[in-house]
Copies of this chain bind each other. A is one copy, B any other.
């Protein structure tokens, strides 16, 4: 039942375990092991199906070939898809992934970081929560390979990979104006999450660039802690409070989903009575009638960049910081098409 160890190979080959280790680590040349012996060991290794014991190796070298992935919610469309590709890409480099969800809860995030440290993961992919700064700083100080995902911490220079939130939201707002919509509202959350702020900033910047200004009452911030029902009610009240509202932008997909429910409850027709755009794509947006226009994140590119940056950290221990900002794409669907005139 036991696995084959380096000793077993050594015994059968009539050499010492050291020699076996050298050969199997590709140091045969460097350590001047004869071709004869090398070949014999290699042959034995495949014959016996030798698999190095990662624990023993890890204990000695301090490397576990494992990376920790901390996301906001693995059940969320965006993170689940990122997790999938991250796993596939990591696997190509011989790494396995341990994951966990923070639910955007600081204590959970701290707990996850602690467990991952204690499990001695070699590198971290982290979607930081608000106020996680100190812990990230500690990791950075300990020179742990790390990449932030989806968000960054403005006061701490680190590697990160994220979408261009500002541009995505800017494009969405501009698009609505180009289509001729007049009264455009925006719905976001109260959270301090940087990516939400940037999306709002992008939206507002576009409004200011093409319009005289943006009235505060066209902006709704939902409580981050509210329940689903409360949020839907809030959105309904908000929509009703604005006369002649003809377009609405949601800064993330779950808000967009609430928005759909709210609009439906109010008996309004998306695309007809009100134009609708959400940040992030979702099956629902694609299949809803009409399709929901959205700002889509390049999930595959994000995941691949994350691994690339992390592998770079893992292999070359440079001090160089990689900050990757990928473009968002506006996916145009039926939810905003009513007007044709270019009003910009």
Binding site for B on A (CB under 8 A): 1, 51, 53-56, 58-59, 64, 66, 73-77, 80-81, 83-84, 87-88, 91, 96-101, 115, 117-120, 142, 257, 260-261, 264, 282-284, 287-289
Q: Which residues of B contact A142 (CB under 8 A)?
A: 1
Q: Which residues of B contact A98 (CB under 8 A)?
A: 66, 96-98
The answer to whether A54 touches B118, judged by C-beta atoms less than 8 angstroms apart, is yes
Residue among B101, B119, B282 making CB contact with A87, cutoff 8 Å: B101
The answer to whether B119 touches A96, judged by C-beta atoms less than 8 angstroms apart, is yes
A122 to chain B, nearest CB (A): 12
Q: Which residues of B contact A96 (CB under 8 A)?
A: 98, 115, 119
The answer to whether A80 touches B91, judged by C-beta atoms less than 8 angstroms apart, is no
Copies in the complex: 2
Q: Which residues of B contact A97 (CB under 8 A)?
A: 98-99
- Whether A87 contacts B75 in the complex (CB less than 8 A), given A1-B142, A55-B55, comes out as no
The answer for the CA separation of A119 and B56 in the assembled complex, in Å, is 11
The answer to whether B87 touches A74, judged by C-beta atoms less than 8 angstroms apart, is yes
A111 to chain B, nearest CB (A): 8
Chain B residue with Cβ nearest A260: B287
The answer for the CA separation of A53 and B120 in the assembled complex, in Å, is 8
Between-chain CB contacts (< 8 Å), 18 pairs: A55-B55, A55-B59, A73-B84, A74-B84, A75-B80, A75-B83, A75-B84, A87-B99, A87-B100, A96-B119, A97-B98, A97-B99, A99-B99, A257-B287, A284-B284, A284-B287, A284-B288, A288-B288
The answer to whether A261 touches B287, judged by C-beta atoms less than 8 angstroms apart, is yes
The answer for the CA separation of A53 and B117 in the assembled complex, in Å, is 10
- Whether A83 contacts B74 in the complex (CB less than 8 A), given A99-B97, A284-B284, comes out as yes
The answer for the CA separation of A264 and B288 in the assembled complex, in Å, is 10
The answer for the CA separation of A76 and B83 in the assembled complex, in Å, is 11
The answer for the CA separation of A83 and B283 in the assembled complex, in Å, is 19
The answer for the CA separation of A23 and B158 in the assembled complex, in Å, is 41
Q: Which residues of B contact A282 (CB under 8 A)?
A: 283
The answer for the CA separation of A108 and B260 in the assembled complex, in Å, is 38
The answer to whether B91 touches A115, judged by C-beta atoms less than 8 angstroms apart, is yes
Q: Tell me which of A75, A87, A98, A288 has the highest count of chain B C-beta atoms within 10 A of its own C-beta.
A: A75
Chain B residue with Cβ nearest A261: B287
The answer for the CA separation of A262 and B229 in the assembled complex, in Å, is 32
The answer for the CA separation of A98 and B91 in the assembled complex, in Å, is 12
Q: A97-B99, A282-B283 are in contact. List 13 more A-B contacts (CB 8 A).
A: A53-B120, A54-B118, A54-B119, A54-B120, A74-B84, A74-B87, A75-B81, A80-B80, A87-B99, A97-B98, A99-B99, A284-B287, A288-B288
A267 to chain B, nearest CB (A): 11
Chain B residue with Cβ nearest A98: B96
The answer for the CA separation of A81 and B77 in the assembled complex, in Å, is 10
The answer to whether B289 touches A289, judged by C-beta atoms less than 8 angstroms apart, is yes
Residue among B59, B87, B257 making CB contact with A59, cutoff 8 Å: B59
The answer to whether A264 touches B289, judged by C-beta atoms less than 8 angstroms apart, is yes
A335 to chain B, nearest CB (A): 13
